[in-house]
Structure 1
Amino acid sequence: MIVIRTALVVAAAAAAAASDPAADADDVAPLTLLPKTTLGKCLDGTPSGYYLSPSVTAAARTKWILNLEGGGECASKDRCLSQLNGPLGSSKYFSKTWRMNQFLISRDSKTNPATWDWNMVHLPYCTQDLWMGTRATPSNQSYGLSFAGHYVLDAVVTELLNLPNGLGQATEVILTGESAGGIGVTPNVDWLHDQLGSQAKVTGAPIAGLYFYADPYTGPGHTSSDLADFREAAWPSHAQLWQPFVDQSCLSAHDSVAWPCMLANYSTRFISSQLFFTQSKSDQVVLTAHDWVPGDLKPWADVEQYIQVWQRNMTSALNGLSNQAARRGFFGVDCFIHTTFSPQAPLLPFHGKNVSFAAAFDAWYTDNEFVYLQDYGGVFSNPTCPK
């Protein structure tokens, strides 16, 4: 096992390289809405959709990356109904175009060396169910709403399979996503492999998607949240509301009870596809928006104790991924961030130089290296953390 520890190599990160001119003209993708008859609906019943940017080199014609957008989740009537007047609940508010310029769906070959020229598909998030829901028919039990995140992915994949020279010709496919989209990668990645058949190598690359049950901070200055409760006892009700699709091997191991398989920390050992996690070990959004830590981190002495325990749990979760045979990899930083991963920061040392998450992923995916990178210096210890 290779684990890179604590202090960074002493060197300032170089400024981001300029984007590839040849790719710039092709990185704005139009919105395609799914048919009205689809099961892949938003909360309000409007059909969801996707943005497709075709590959920009002949070498990448059969390579595809699908990105699941993030945006929280809802588990209460008030929270869910509040999402209906925006793109997180209705496709009526989707942007007509999407620029491929973030994370692993960036057209900049210098900062995204692994996938810059691939076919890129961005899936907007409007189901509030962590991309797992299979409740396509509204009912009183679902507040009159649909929770159909898995069906959205299913419908988009079906359309892409039917395109000439489409997903059916794929040799390599990466399913990625950030935040809620990152959580949605793990339960769906083996399913995606099954849809494509044995000719395609399918990989999961969650960003801010490795989580576990957590009791909230209840010390001085604690807040509250209208996002989903992450305590273990709350997950059965989330499962009842969303009717989630989860990995079938995990489901079988838990006697067809879905909720233990909804978070990656408990389901990853059942996943056959290779996985690479990009994760903050002191996740800002989960700590403040789910776990009641005050945003100003005051009083620090009490808050720090809670974050230290949370961080140790994340360290343990990352160490549990160090499985060479299963092709796991990770990039875990001690930063008070959620999805703020860029070519400039945060960085971790690898082979004598400081690398970003995208460079670490490239070494793991393209060069087939064992990449288990994380800080061990304590709370917010990485000196390259974004401010």
Structure 2
Amino acid sequence: MEETIGMIKLFLVSGFFILLGSTQAAADGYTTGGGRRLAAAPSLPVPITLITSAVDKGAVCLDGTPPAYHMDPGFGAGKNKWIVNLEGGGWCDSVRVCRYRKASRLGSSNLMDKQMYFEGVLSSNLVKNPDFYNWNRVMIRYCDGASFTGEGYDASNRLYFRGQRIFNASIEHLLSIGMASADQVLLAGGSAGGLAAILQCDHFSAFFAGRRGTTVKCLADAGLFLDAVDISGGRTLRSYYGGIVATHGVAQNLPKSCTGRLDATSCFFPQNIIGSIKTPMFLLNAAYDTWQIHESLAPDAADPRGAWRACKSNRSACDASQMTVLQGFRGQMVSAVQGFSRSKANGLFINSCFTHGQSKYRATWNAKGSPTIQNKGIGKSVGDWYFGRAEVKAIDCPYPCDKTCHNDI
């Protein structure tokens, strides 16, 4: 049994809070008698659905509440096509932090926003999202804290680490309501959800094994988190990921192609996984990913004197030595995708922007003035790759050559 509830004023995408009102909603479109959605009227907010049947499977949020999703049904030629998007929102790396997280919408479906407006790759606007606007578009909410990979339970704190069960139960539910007959499917995600899309890509594809004629591909936006050395010589993100892996019992659910040769923490880093993924995948990432610059490359703990504070807030404030470090970080990202890019089935769009997450925002997905590489934008690039219209292996030249970026300041 499912229930539908509520209203939205604020929601979290890839770790950033976005306030939505009637002005932002105004261009997503409406359905005409011919089944097309035009840009003349506002879209309807998409209500939340709780998967209450998942509770019996132990597939629950950190606090034990049911998992949830938002779905805008497909129409016309898109009725048998599905995008399943995994929500982002960071992680929790210890029982103490997860205890706080379970008292938020990132740990409890009781506290989630009840409605959501879909933008970017999830938009129902024909003009702004021509390749996917009429598909069944789903956002699976994030409430486990380990990119949908955990398996465990802390009885003393009543914390459920059930990310893998949430993923499985959510996909099984979507299959039961129509996705089983899909002819085209795209698993996507941004930030922590982008990492999840990478980790779960082949597992997701396996749900469609034996179903003839179903095309399955994956899109990871801002999910290419690097195992980088920080400015103090430490490995801040590796330490953090180690805590996530241990707290949530992640190791058993990581790709065996990686854990057979590397430790579990290494296998939580995409650079060690992407080369062995069999399902076609598209990596969309900013070469100067702002979350990674703030939290992995130059975190406050590695910068006690605040020498990087201004640079992190405004790239124009970076001095020559800091820019050298940033260019080195970009070099690591480009190097990390070299093997991945050799597969004709895979796609890349690595632009030289200072941002984090670009697929779920109208301004960066397919709007006038959106980021481009060689005059091709993100939405067009993903569409060309998915439908096989063109091979897309776009890696931008180093900053400051790109004048089309939408940067976070």
Length-normalised TM-score, structure 2: 0.78
More helix by percentage = 2
| Structure 1 unmatched ranges of 5 or more | 1-16
Q: Aligned runs of 1:368-387 on 2, under 5 Å?
A: 368-376=389-397, 378-387=398-407
- Asked if residue 21 in structure 1 is aligned to residue 30 in structure 2, the reply is yes
User: Is 1:311 paired with 2:311?
Assistant: no
Identify unmatched segments of 5+ residues in structure 2: 1-25, 32-36, 300-307, 312-316, 359-363
Shift of 1:153: 1.3
Q: Quick one: which amino acid aligns to residue 193 of structure 2?
A: G
Post-superposition Cα deviations, 1:237-282, rounded to whole Å, max 9, x if no partner, equal 432212222223333454xx53332222110111110000110000
**1:86 deviation in Å?**
1.8
Q: Would you say 1:230 and 2:234 are equivalent positions?
A: no
- Of residues 294, 314, 319, the one that matches 1:300 is 319
Partner of 1:75: 93
Q: Which moved more, 1:281-290 or 1:366-375?
A: 366-375
- Structure 1 residues 108-257: aligned runs within 5 Å: 108-135=125-152, 137-139=153-155, 144-163=158-177, 166-199=178-211, 200-218=214-232, 229-231=236-238, 235-244=241-250, 245-254=253-262, 257=263
CA RMSD of aligned residues (A): 2.5
SS across alignment from 2:337: helix
| Matched-pair contact (CA < 8 Å) for 1:324–1:370 | no
Query: Does structure 1 residue 95 correspond to structure 2 residue 113?
Result: yes
Equivalent residue for 1:342?
365
Please give the secondary structure, in 1, of the residue aligned with 2:189: strand
Q: What pairs with 1:254-293 in structure 2 (closer than 5 Å)? A: 254=262, 257-293=263-299
Q: Deviations over 1:42-79 (max 9, x none)?
A: 1222121111211022x112111100011111113443
Distance 1:158 1:215 in 2: 39
Q: TM-score under structure 1 normalisation?
A: 0.82
Residue 348 of structure 1: CA displacement? 2.5
Tell which deviates more after alignment, 32-41 or 122-131: 32-41
> Relative contact order (C-alpha < 8 Å, sep 6+): which is higher?
1
Q: Distance in 2 between matches of 1:69 and 1:94?
A: 12
2:103 corresponds to 1:85: yes
- Percent identical pairs in the alignment equals 26
Between the aligned partners of 1:382 and 1:302, the Cα distance in structure 2 is 21
- Say if 2:91 and 2:244, in contact at 8 Å, map to a contact too: no
Q: Matches of 1:248 and 1:110 in 2, distance apart?
A: 41
CA distance in 2, matches of 1:380, 1:318: 21
Counting only pairs closer than 5 Å after superposition, residues 22-41 of structure 1 correspond to structure 2 as 22=31, 23=37, 27-35=44-52, 36-41=55-60
Aligned length: 349
CA contact (8 A) 1:185 1:206 kept: yes
